[in-house]
Chains A and B, each alone.
Chain A
Amino acid sequence: MIKKIAITSENVDFLEKISKLSDQVITKCDQCGTCSGSCPMVGEMDITPAQLMRMVLLGQEEVMDSKAMWICASCFACTVRCPRGLDVSRVAEALRQITLRQAVDHIDLNDIPDCEMKRLPQIALVSAGRKFTG
C-alpha cells in the first residue's frame, strides 16, 4: 500500500527539534546516498541512513519507529564521506536521545548470562547500557 503523508507545521517542529539536538543543518542533505553506501550495518537496517535523513527532513515522526538508529554503530563512515559535510551519525544520535531521555530500560544487564558476559567486549556492554537503558 502506498502511504500518504501530510506536510504540516508539526513536521517542521520535529525537523527543528532534531536539527537543534544534532546541531546539523539537515535541510542541506542532497539525498545522494553516500551514507547508505558507506554504512557497514545497512544490511541490518529497515530504512537506509539516507532515508532516515529524508524522513527527518520531511518531519515524519514515524522515523522514531524504525530500527536503523539503534543498529547504527556510530562508526562515522557516513560522516567522513558526506559530500555536504553533514554529520549523519549525530542525527542518528539525536533520534536516539529522544527515546533515551524517556529513561526506559529495555534490557537488564543482570539478565545477561555469565558466559555471554565473559565473551562480550566491554565496549559492547557500555554501548548497550547507553543505548538500551534509561
Chain B
Amino acid sequence: MKKIGVYICHCGGNISEVVDVKKVVAFAEKEADVALVRDHEHMCSETGQKLVMDDIAGHKLDKVVIAACSPQFQGPTFKATLEKAGLSPYVLEMANIREQCAWPHFDFPAEATEKAQGLARIAIAKARLDEPLTKKTFPIGKRVLVVGAGVAGIQASLDLADAGFDVHLVESKPSIGGKMLQLSRTFPTEDCAACILSPKMADVGANPNIHLWAYSEIEDIQGYLGNYKVTVRKKPTYVDPDKCTCCGECVDACPVAVPKELDEGLSTRKAIYLASPIAVPHSYVIDDKTCLGIFPLACGKCQDVCDPGAIDFDVYPESITFTVDTIVVGTGYEIFDATQKKVYGFGKYENVITALDMERMIVYASEGNPMRPMGKKIAFIQCVGSRDEQVKNEYCSRICCMYAVKLSQLVKRSDPKRDVYVFYTDLRAYGKGFEEYYKRGQAEGVKYIRGRPAELIEDPRTKKITLKVEDTLTRDIIESEFDLVVLSVGLRPHPGTERIANLLRLAKSPDGFLQEAHPKFRPVDTLTDGVFLAGTVQGPKDIPDTVAQASAASSRAIRLMNRGEYDVDPVMAFVHEASCDGCGLCVGQCPTNAISLASRGSNAGPSLSGKVAEINEALCKGCGSCIASCPKDALDLHCYTNDQLAEEIRAALAAKKGGDVRVLVFADDMTGYRLADNVGTAKMPYALDSRIIRVPSCCRITPKLMLQAFALGADGILLCESEAKSNPYPHSVSTIKSNLAKVKGILENEKIHRDRVRLVEFVTVMLGGFVKNINELSNFVRKLGPLSAEESGRLGQDMDKKLFG
C-alpha cells in the first residue's frame, strides 16, 4: 500500500487569492493512495518543512506531493527536506500551481481552481510510480588537461598543480606565454609585461606537477568526465633541450631569414631560433617549413657549429596518449585582421600599423634599439574590427580603449613634443584604476577626438597618412596628415579553438567565442561535463579578468575532482532486459555513445543475437532520445518512465468534459518549462485548456506516447524545446523533428489534421511567443473540434505496427 502525503501551499496569498485551496484539498483527499492532505500558508518555511518531516516519520509516508510554486524554484529545498527525513529525494513530485496556475489565470479563479486540482492529480499519478532512487556516484582521478599556455592556461595550470593535481599543459607554439609575451607594458599600472610574466612562466617549467607539452597540438580527445583520452602530437624541434646551451652560434650560422612572429613580422628571425628571450622551454627550435636542412639536407650549417651536438635532423613528430579527468580550455584569441578594413589601407600603407606592432616598437625603443621612426604626429583609431557590422563583428573587444590609452601616453611621454591623438566613438574606462589612467593620459597632453575615421589616404611621395573624420563634438570635418596611424584592432576567436570545440562538442555564442554554460551563474563551465573555459576563448577580456577566470575554472575543476568521486542525478536511461532482443537500433541513436551491445551471458531472453543493450551511466545524459528507436519498449528513462508519462497524460486528460478540448504541452526542463514559469511570473494569461508536463527534453516524448495521448483524448500536442543552438542536448531538436514527422504521417493516414501536433523552438525570453503558440494551437483544435472517440480509438490501435511496420 502506497502512502502519499499531499501538501497544498497558500504561498502567502499568491496562490490562495486565486485558487480555492480548500477545494484542492478536498479533491486530493479522494485520490487513491493518498494517506493525508494538508495545506499551509508557506510550505517552504521552516514550519512547512517540519510539517512534511513530521508526517514522514509519524505517518510513514513513502511519497510526497507538494502543490506550490515551480519545482525549478523550491524543488531543491523540498528535496533536501525529504532527504533529511530519510526519504529518497526522487519520491518528491511538485504540482506547479503558482507559476503555471494561480499567476497566469488570476482572472479566472474558478477555472484556476479546477486546473490546480488537475495539476495535483497529475503529480499524484506520477508520484505513485516514483522509485526511491539515489544519486549515482562515480570515481574520478586528479588529472587535468589544460589547452593553451597563454596567461589563462599558465594561471590555471599553476593553480591546479599547486593544489596537488596532475596537469598536462599543451601549447602549439615553441614557448608558453601567449600574446602577453608580445606586450610592452600593462594597463593601468604600466608594469613591464615580460617582467611580471616571466616568473610565472618559469614556475610552470619548474613545477613537478605540470607536464608541459610545448610545440604540440591536440590530435584527438575521446571520452567523458573522469575518463578523457587525449592524444597529443608533439612536433619535432630538432634541438635536444638537454644538450642545447643556448649559446646562439647556430643562429649566426643559419642563412635563412624569415619574418619573426614575436615581432608581428616587423623584424626577422633565422630558421633556427629562440621563440623569445624569456622562452619556456628555454631551447632553440628549428622551423622545418623554412630550414634548408630537412628533406633534403641541403644545408646543415647550424649542426656544424653546434659544439654540444644538440642538433639532430633525423627526428619525427610523435603522438603521446594519456588520460585526464577534466579539461580547461584556454586557447585564447587572435587580433582582428586589419586588412579586412580596406578603407584603412593596412598592409598597403607602410605608416598604418596595428596596436600590437606598436607594442613591439615600444619594447624595442625602450631597449634603445628602435625598429623604425615613429614620427611626431601619431593617430590611434579605435574600434577597428569591433562594433562594426561591415566586418561582421558587432561586439566590443573590451581591451582596445585601455591599451590605446596606455600606448598613446607611452609614446607621448617618451617624446613630449609628439602630437598624439586618439579617435574614438565611446571611450570605455570601466575597470579598476582605468578612469584615473585615462585622465593621466589626458593630463599629459594626449588629445581625444570623438569620431570614427572614415578613410585613410597615403601621400605616395612622403608616405604620410591623411585621415578624414568628423569631430562629432564640434561637428567639423577634420582632414589632417599624420606620420603614423595605429589601428586599435579588436579580438577574434582563435582559429585553433575550432578543433577543440568540435572534439568536445562545445557551443559557440553568436560572436564566435565559446559559450559558457550559463551567462550569470556558470560563467566558466561548459555544457560538456568536466570541461571549463578560461580567458579570451570565452570572449574578449583583459589580463586580470583572464587570471580571475582561469582561477575560477581551476577551482570548478577541483570541485569535481577533489573528493575522488562525483554525484549525478539518476535521470538515466535503463534497459528492460526481458524485452530487449539485442537488435541494436538504439546504439546509433545516442549522441554521447552511451549505449553498447553486451553479451547476455547466462541471462536468457528474447535475444536474437545473444546480446543486450547496455547503458554506460557515466556517459548517459538522460535526454531520453534513444527510447523512441526501440520497437520493443525495452528502453526507458529513470524519473520519466514510459509508465509514469502515460499516467501523467491520462491524469491530464481525466477531467475533460464532453465537447471540450484539451491541449497537452510538453516542456523541456532547460527552456520550455522555465519559459512557462516566466510567463506565469509576468501574469500573462494563456489558454486554460492546456496542461504542461515537464520533461528533460521533448525528445523523451516518443511517437508512441504522442499516439497514446491522442488515444486518451488529447486534441492537440505542443512540444516546447530549447532552440537547437542553446539546447543542452544539441541533437534533440532533430530527433524531435523525426519523431514528429512519424506522428504527422500517421495522423494524415487516419485523415486527422497533421498540425494537431507541433514543435516550437524557444529561448527563455520569448514570453509572448509561448503564449501565442499555446493559444494558437488551442484555437486551432477548438475550430477543428475535439477528436471523436472513433478517431482516438483508431490512433490507439496497433500503435507498434503503425510505428515500426
Contact = CB atoms under 8 A, between A and B. Distances in A.
B534 to A, nearest CB: 30
Contacts of B425: 30-32, 83
B327 to A, nearest CB: 37
Contacts of A83: 383, 387-390, 425, 452
Given A37-B470, A83-B387, A47 B475 contact: yes
Contact of A37 (B389, B455, B475): B455
Contacts of A81: 343, 390, 454
A30 B426 CA distance: 9
A134 interface: no
B451 A37 contact: yes
A81 to B, nearest CB: 6
Given A34-B452, A80-B390, A83-B390, A43 B472 contact: no
B453 interface: yes
Interface string A82-94: 1111000000000
A129 interface: no
A38 interface: yes
Contacts of B455: 37-38
Contacts of B426: 30
14 contacts: A30-B426, A32-B451, A32-B452, A33-B450, A33-B452, A33-B471, A37-B451, A37-B452, A37-B455, A37-B469, A37-B477, A48-B475, A83-B425, A84-B389
Contacts of B471: 33
A34 B455 CA distance: 9
B343 A48 contact: no
A42 interface: yes
B42 interface: no
A85 B477 CA distance: 22
A37 B468 contact: yes
Given A30-B387, A31-B472, 17 more contacts: A30-B426, A32-B472, A33-B450, A33-B451, A33-B471, A36-B454, A37-B452, A37-B477, A38-B455, A43-B477, A50-B475, A81-B390, A82-B390, A83-B390, A83-B452, A84-B389, A85-B390
Greatest chain B CB density within 10 A among A37, A47, A82 is at A37
A31 B387 CA distance: 13
A73 B153 CA distance: 54
Interface string A42-61: 11000110110000000000
Contacts of B468: 37-38
Interface string B448-479: 00111111000000000000111110010100
A30 B389 CA distance: 12
Contacts of B388: 83
Interface in A23-37: 30-37
A18 to B, nearest CB: 20
A30 to B, nearest CB: 6
Contacts of A36: 451, 454, 470, 472, 477
Interface of A: 30-38, 42-43, 47-48, 50-51, 77, 80-85
A37 B466 CA distance: 12
A32 B425 CA distance: 5
A33 B390 contact: no
Nearest to A34: B452
B477 A48 contact: yes
A96 B202 CA distance: 67
A48 B450 CA distance: 14
A36 B468 CA distance: 9
A88 to B, nearest CB: 12
B389 A85 contact: yes
A43 B451 CA distance: 17
A38 B454 contact: yes
A42 B389 contact: no
Given A81-B454, A83-B383, A42 B477 contact: yes
A50 B472 contact: yes
B476 to A, nearest CB: 8
A33 B469 contact: yes
Contacts of B390: 80-83, 85
Nearest to A42: B477
A34 B424 CA distance: 11
A7 B387 CA distance: 29
A51 B453 CA distance: 16
Contact of A51 (B343, B387, B452, B475): B475
B652 to A, nearest CB: 44
A73 to B, nearest CB: 16
The 4 closest A-B pairs by CB, nearest first: A37-B454, A33-B470, A36-B470, A32-B452
Contacts of A82: 389-390
Contacts of B389: 82-85
A32 B470 CA distance: 8
A128 to B, nearest CB: 26
Nearest to B471: A33
Contacts of B383: 32, 83
Contacts of B450: 33
Interface in B363-411: 383, 387-390
A68 B451 CA distance: 19
Contacts of B469: 33, 37
Interface string B16-27: 000000000000
A42 B451 CA distance: 15
A42 B454 CA distance: 12
Interface in B459-503: 468-472, 475, 477
